[in-house]
Structure 1
């Protein structure tokens, strides 16, 4: 890989250890994010199925509620003014709670009853049965609307989080990990090359020492032969006072 595909770092044993640690962390993070993405995708599909089922049911309930309203108006006449006069505050309210899915907080809406029905006597003289049926049908429609709102909110939240998580997974898999691996390969190759150079340099030094020692031994032997001396010792090549120029000439 080219220099652009790796991290700009000086090759050293410490850098090698650092890159190995970063690679291990990146692989662990990729694994965790992949599991998180899978868990969110499973919940996303389950929510989508519930939305479809709820919308189908919502159509049937609203159709039945509209038919009940027509029946109530036919039996009891116009109910608008009676309902408005008897209603002071809403009895059906909505509260929220949080549901945690793989670290993602999903808002959940729930309906509940607050107080009694203040218009329970509406239409008691005529059409009471149809009005009671109307109230039950519309109450069921409200429950489905709250459930549908909760599901659609969770659906949008999961969709955004899944997109972000998948982008992170792809970035780690296709950018970060390859860059770290390329950097590791570069550091290892540089350290190996440096080791080969040191070994070659050491061999050259040893070779020069050997050649210098052989020359000195030959020179000592020649002097002995010329002077007829046998007790002339060769200088110690490892002595600090020895001329080091022989080693690097």
Structure 2
């Protein structure tokens, strides 16, 4: 899969950046080091000044790529979900059985993420940790409706819509396919967080993964 992904460019809404960071070494360094720094200190404590110090560059040079750290987080989130969507498509392509196809999709969107060596400046394992902890900060804002109209969450919704289609292929008349699909994608992030930080309120642990739970959930829920 890595060899295939290495030939694919993840497309991100151009309204999220001033200059495409993928077009220069500085831009790629901004992406690479912002992921590492946000993971180290958290998004609330993250600033462009601190990032500039990390990459030995002026703070103003970062603003030439992103107008705010919120837009940077939206960019990273969009890139992540675009990467997940590519993995999902590759994992389910040419799988004839609808339940098997759905199970493979569930694994992709709920499993623990390993770094993909095909993308040298993006560490997906660390980016996943950021998505688990910080993704809701892209959604739970006063600007969410306007940003949704701008298409900032389109790739995230694409992943969910693919799951919706697969659920309906398994059980055409199931009345809650959208709610189930969005609950799986968002819930998996939450269960990974609970597993690492609030262990007493989840059954997920070193032996039981969020993937195990959601595979069991869909089989039980979609029994006809």
TM-score by length of 1: 0.20
Q: Which has the higher helix share?
A: 1
Larger radius of gyration: 1
Q: Which has the higher strand share?
A: 1
